[in-house]
Amino acid sequence: MKARVTVTLKTGVLDPQGKAIEGALKSLGIDGVDSVRQGKVFDIELAGADKAAAEATLQAACEKLLANTVIENYRVEITG
């Protein structure tokens, strides 16, 4: 079973990396970009075919390792 976990910064948390990308895009002459926020994506393959078990595993993985839940949100999607 395949899944995608997306981890993004919560609203209000500063994102200096995103700001740096915004600046770099402007200096490359790419206009029209108002803001950039960077996050992480994890493409995960899981053993077994039980969707509920896979979701529980991924939620545990996010809470314990993949996301810092103080400053980040995460979303789990089973993709196939």
H/E element holding 20? helix 16-27
Does 13 bind a copy of itself (CB under 8 A)? Our answer is no
What region, left, alpha or beta, does residue 50 occupy, with left being phi > 0 and alpha being psi -120 to 50 degrees? beta
Rg (CA), the chain: 16
d(CA 23, CA 57) in angstroms, rounded, equals 38
* Residue 69 binding a copy of itself, by CB under 8 A: no
State in angstroms the smallest separation of the CB of 64 from a copy of itself: 5
Verify binding: residue 65, a copy of itself, rule CB under 8 A: yes
Site string for a copy of itself, 14-43 (x = CB under 8 A): ----x--x--xx--x-xxxxxxxxxxxxxx
Q: Which residue, 49 or 70, has its beta carbon nearer to a copy of itself?
A: 49
